[in-house]
């Protein structure tokens, strides 16, 4: 399995490899402690809630593919715009297709490795209320 990213543009690739391994603990290592994961627009989660939500996606047993579109970095912070697709057949034989364009933020830690601090897979999508979300955690 790939080590954590040494460059910000590699964070999505490391995430995808770990996601496709089917190991939620390996996926959790790609996040800083206290990171925010937004499994659906308007629903930011941290801690155990974020890990459980991510594990539900991994648990589908369907691979993810990622295509970084833009990476903007300054010092130890990076904004990543990433197109992604989860497509295939789940463990129950049902077709799955979930896709989006993520707006993510990663930070280089003291160990020199990059991890997500904000993972917003559905990017600029509106929340369920139809309004942009400005919820803070």
Contacts of range 48-55, beta carbons closer than 8 Å, 24 or more positions apart:
51/24, 54/24, 54/27, 54/28, 55/24, 55/27
What global pTM score does this model have? 0.90
Q: What is the pLDDT of residues 68-109, one digit of tens each?
A: 999 999 999 999 999 999 999 998 999 999 999 999 999 999
Question: Nearest Cα to 105, choosing from 47, 26, 38, 43?
Answer: 38
Q: What pLDDT score does 127 carry?
A: 67
Q: What is the pLDDT of residues 28-78, one digit of tens each?
A: 999 999 999 999 998 999 999 999 999 999 999 999 999 999 999 999 999
In 3-state terms the chain splits into helix, strand, coil percentages (rounded to 5) of: 25, 40, 40
């Amino acid at each position: 399995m790939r080590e954590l990213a040494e460059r910000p543009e590699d964070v999505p690739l490391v995430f995808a490899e770990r996601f496709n391994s089917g190991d939620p603990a390996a996926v959790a290592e790609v996040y800083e402690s206290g990171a925010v994961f937004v499994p659906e627009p308007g629903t930011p989660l941290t801690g155990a809630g974020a890990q459980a939500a991510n594990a539900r996606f991994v648990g589908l047993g369907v691979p993810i593919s990622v295509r970084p579109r833009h990476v903007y970095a300054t010092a130890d912070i990076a904004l990543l715009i990433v197109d992604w697709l989860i497509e295939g057949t789940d463990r129950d034989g049902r077709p799955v297709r979930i896709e989006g364009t993520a707006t993510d933020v990663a930070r280089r830690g003291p160990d020199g490795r990059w991890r997500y601090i904000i993972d917003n897979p559905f990017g600029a999508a509106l929340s369920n209320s139809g309004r942009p979300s400005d919820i803070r955690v």
